[in-house]
Chains A and B, each alone.
Chain A
Amino acid sequence: MSKTKTTGVTHYEILFIIPNRFTDDEAKTVSSSVEKIIADNDGIVTLREYWGKKRLAYEIKHNAFGYYSLFEFDLEGNKLAKIDTTLRLSAEVLRHQIVVKHAKSEAAIAKEAKIRVKIDSKKAADSKKQEEKTKIPSPSSTASRVGDKVDKRVDLKDLDEKLEGILNAKDLI
């Protein structure tokens, strides 16, 4: 959790676990109550995600399962501590974590999109190169394989003839 006491508005992200003793509907109401706590402290919730019931990686207070819920919100930095304490003291929330999330500006998003296009084109070019590389030796290798097969067939025929010859010779004796 960030311990900054800035007065400006910051973008935060909170993820919390609701214990397994609640039902799915009850967990949703708990989730909305957390949202209310944020709203009471003049926070503006911008994103709501409810992950539902998930298995915890390890037991927390004898809970093997928990309901995960995620919010993103804008809040003044000095009001964060209050939300943190209320959630820490509440029995309805098993564990929570507040993280500073840098909201992306439009310019940053555009820049990322540009980089993505560049990467994709590079990947495509690389895969093409690899295909060409694999194509060149492939006909020769297949030809050699065919040749091997032909050789084997000839061998088998020869063997058959020899065998027949031997058998016939034995009959004669």
Chain B
Amino acid sequence: MTNKKTKECYFCVNNLEVDYKDTRTLRRFVNFYMKILPGARTGVCAWHQRKLSDAVKRSRVMALLSATHK
């Protein structure tokens, strides 16, 4: 989760692509219950938020990311 003060898109600012294998990055945009956080809260732009939600779901299918917090 990014700081409240900086509402810049993490992927735009750092020129990164959303990758479903990069769980360490994806984990930042998911809460304790492994639910995808809204873009308004994390500052991710709409274009990257769409890629992000796809990536998280792909990651869950491949058991890289848990679907629940347990």
What bracket does the count of chain A residues touching chain B fall in? 10 to 19
Chain B at the A interface: SS class: loop
How far, in whole Å, are A88 and B15 apart by their CA atoms in the complex? 36
* Contact A97/B63 with A15-B21, A115-B15, A119-B15 known, Cβ cut-off 8 Å: no
User: Of A26-34, A55-63, A129-137, A144-152, which binds chain B?
Assistant: A55-63
B63 adjacent to A57 (CB under 8 Å)? yes
Q: List 19 A-B contacts (CB under 8 A).
A: A15-B21, A17-B62, A17-B63, A56-B63, A57-B60, A57-B64, A57-B67, A58-B66, A58-B67, A60-B63, A70-B21, A95-B61, A95-B63, A97-B61, A99-B58, A112-B15, A116-B15, A119-B13, A119-B15
Binding site for B on A (CB under 8 A): 15, 17, 56-58, 60, 66, 70, 95, 97, 99, 112, 115-116, 119
